[in-house]
Amino acid sequence: MQQAILDMCCGSRMFWFDKQDERAVFSDIRAEQHELCDGRQLVISPDLIADFRALPFADNTFPVVVFDPPHLERVGDNAWMGKKYGRLNKETWRDDLRAGFAEAFRVLWPHGVLIFKWNETQIPVSNILALTDEKPVIWQRTGKSDKTHWVIFVKGGPNVQDNPA
């Protein structure tokens, strides 16, 4: 079966309804397992080890891409938040995320859908969205403090000039 969805930074697949969904290719730069402080297991087991900045797929491969990159630049080396969500490099995160957006749009079909998730606990979402020329179609805040943003893009779609930030 040809997979229709690429999850570029799947981590432990936290928000997936079916964590083994056969329609998706689950990709991450890491494969690891940790026991959290409450005894739960955190399992990061992608189908494919790949760096979201240089995806091993041809142009226009997927109709849907999910991009939920690490959002923490200030997190301890052994902190459970870093294990769960990954970590950004303090010096290169802008270039890294810019490259991630470019790769997401490269592997998307024309008029394909990018589902982007960002938590602005440390870095405002406006700083992140400035890293791509594509404009969102849909933008929804969620979470206890409205810090998590779900942003939907359509590759090559009409540019929306107003944003809710």
Provide the CATH number for the domain around residue 58.
3.40.50.150
- The parent domain of residue 108 ranges over 5-154
- Whether residue 23 is contained in a domain is answered as yes
Do residues 150 and 117 touch, judged by C-beta distance below 8 A?
Answer: yes
Check residue 144 and give its pLDDT: 77
Do residues 100 and 53 touch, judged by C-beta distance below 8 A?
Answer: yes
Give the pTM. Answer: 0.88
- Whether residue 113 is contained in a domain is answered as yes
- Whether residue 24 is contained in a domain is answered as yes
- Whether residue 159 is contained in a domain is answered as no
Check residue 78 and give its pLDDT: 75
Q: 127 pLDDT exceeds 60?
A: yes
- Whether residue 163 is contained in a domain is answered as no
The per-residue pLDDT for range 33-51, each reduced to its tens digit, is 988 778 888 889 999 999 9
Amino acid at 67: F
Compute the distance between CA of residue 30 and CA of residue 46 in angstroms, rounded to an integer.
8
Query: Hey, what are 113's tokens?
Result: 């859908």
Check residue 162 and give its pLDDT: 40
Amino acid at 3: Q
Q: 165 pLDDT exceeds 60?
A: no
- Whether residue 160 is contained in a domain is answered as no
Check residue 77 and give its pLDDT: 78
- Whether residue 44 is contained in a domain is answered as yes
Long-range contacts of 131-140 (CB under 8 A, 24+ apart): 131/94, 131/97, 131/98, 131/101, 132/98, 132/101, 132/102, 132/105, 134/101, 134/105, 134/159, 135/159, 135/160, 135/161, 135/163, 136/160, 136/163, 139/163, 139/164
Compute the distance between CA of residue 69 and CA of residue 26 in angstroms, rounded to an integer.
13
- Whether residue 164 is contained in a domain is answered as no
DSSP class of residue 84? H
Number of domains observed in the structure of the chain: 1
The per-residue pLDDT for range 83-103, each reduced to its tens digit, is 778 888 999 999 999 999 999
